Amino acid sequence: MSAGLRRETPVVRDEDTPQRPHEQVRAFLARSTASPDPLSADIAAVRADAREKVLAVTGEPLPVACVESIDVDGVPGRLYRPAGAERDVLVWAHGGGWIHGDLDTTDGVARALANSAGCAVLSIDYRLAPEHPFPAGFDDAWTAVTWAGHNFVSVAVGGDSAGGNLAAAAALKARDEGIALAAQLLVYPALDSTADTAYKVAFPRRYARFAGQQGFGANSDRRLRHLWATYVPDPAARRMSYASPLHAESVHGVAPAVIINAEHDILRGEAEDYARRLEEAGVPVELHEYAGQIHGFFEMFTVMTDAHHAVGVAGDAIRRAFQSANPIQPSKEFSCDR
């Protein structure tokens, strides 16, 4: 990727612009059922409901040459290899607000990215809040990155939503530790714990009845505040760069970034802000924004055609990043259980 901001499929950022959901988004929301309130429901019920709903939209698993369950220095993982002896690996952290998600819920995305990018994908089952608040999830992501660096030639890091937060934080730490990453793939990432930004404050009003869903904006805002408080209970710690990457003192020297955004997402503003910070710091960055889309669309292969397109865009970008990394030595070989 060349230096500067490369913006694809742009959407208008105007608070007075009517909110126009994609027709597939409107249909999906119309048939969606209520979920347990994460602020009051038992965490096991929240996780079970989220798991069921994610698996319902990811579709049948795509074939991959080799899939192996592995222990990544104490972190459970699943390694996908589309050909069987890849030298490059994308470390992937799933979404779920730091409180839910697992290797099965991200299986569809991991398989699709492995095939699209032509690289190995290491999906990690990082520790979740509230049982394991910050920095547990971040520490697990970093463990996976360092493990990957010892076992593959080139490493990229990526994730969606909360996983995008962990990926961006890991990219910052890699910069701090002098470790070169080929790229960071951030899919509608959570990057800023600040609740009263202009974009977030306006969101409940702008999205009061989005796609006929009463309180869509207010519920998004309420949930996001709860997730941050659960993941990082100490308000002071929420502004640490490895918790809120947008608050990093500097982003100079971090890995080239590919950012995928959804137009109708409460996290959209901070991802755009991060893209501008990266550009100003001379970091190559691609920003792909999907008009009409909502948070979570990236994994909805059975209901959103944009999911297939976005994975293709992401895979192509990661493939190009690895090609630019100029690997000079072979990676270690692995056995494959299945």
Q: In which element (H, E) is residue 156 found?
A: strand 154-160
Choose the catalytic residue: 102, 221, 265, 306: 265
Spatial distance between the Cα atoms of 24 and 240, rounded to a whole number of angstroms: 38
Average pLDDT over residues 102-123: 98
Residue among 161, 193, 220, 244 flagged as catalytic: 161
Q: Is the pLDDT of residue 2 over 50?
A: no
pLDDT score for 6: 53
Tell me how far apart the alpha carbons of residues 123 and 144 are, in angstroms, rounded to a whole number: 9
Distances (CA, A) of 244 to 135, 195, 199, 308: 11, 12, 16, 29
Q: Are the beta carbons of 261 and 288 closer than 8 angstroms?
A: yes
Catalytic member of 221, 264, 295, 306: 295
Overall average pLDDT of the 176-194 stretch = 98
308 is catalytic: no
Nearest to 187 by CA among 100, 59, 317, 302: 317
Between 5-9, 148-152, 294-298, the lowest mean confidence (pLDDT) is in 5-9
Cβ 18 vs Cβ 210: under 8 Å: no
Q: Is the pLDDT reported for residue 335 higher than 70? A: no
What average pLDDT does the segment 108-125 reach? 98
295 is catalytic: yes
In a 10 Å sphere around its CB, with 0-12 CB exposed, 13-18 middle and 19+ buried, how is residue 43 labelled? middle
Average pLDDT of the residues of the chain: 93
Residue in 130, 160, 189 with CA at minimum distance from that of residue 54:
160
pLDDT digits (tens, 9 = 90+) for 230-277: 999 999 999 999 999 999 999 999 999 999 999 999 999 999 999 999
Coil/strand/helix, residue 159:
strand
**Quick one: pLDDT at residue 134?**
98
Express each pLDDT in 67-79 by its tens digit: 999 999 999 999 9
Please report, rounded to a whole number, the percentage of residues in the chain having pLDDT higher than 90.
90
* pLDDT band, residue 11 (cuts 50/70/90): low
Report pTM: 0.94
Tokens matching residue 261: 């955004």
- How is the chain split into domains, by residue range? 5-32+61-324
Question: How far apart are the C-alpha atoms of 330 and 88, rounded to whole Å?
Answer: 10
Residue the block writes with tokens 């994610």:
54
Is position 226 annotated as part of the catalytic site? no
Please check whether residue 277 is in contact with residue 251, taking contact to mean a CB–CB distance below 8 angstroms. Answer: yes
> Helix, strand, coil shares of the chain as percentages rounded to 5?
40, 15, 40
Taking alpha carbons only, the member of 126, 88, 85, 92 closest to residue 107 is 92
Residue 4 confidence (pLDDT) above 70 = no
Q: How far is CA 127 from CA 133, 163, 283, 313, 325, in A?
A: 8, 12, 30, 29, 31
Q: What CATH number labels 5-32+61-324?
A: 3.40.50.1820
What is the arithmetic mean of pLDDT over 205-226?
Answer: 96
**How do residues 13-44 score in pLDDT, each as one tens digit?**
555 566 899 999 999 999 999 999 999 999 99
CA distance 182 to 38: 36
Average pLDDT over residues 65-90: 96
**C-beta of residue 161 within 8 angstroms of C-beta of residue 190:** yes
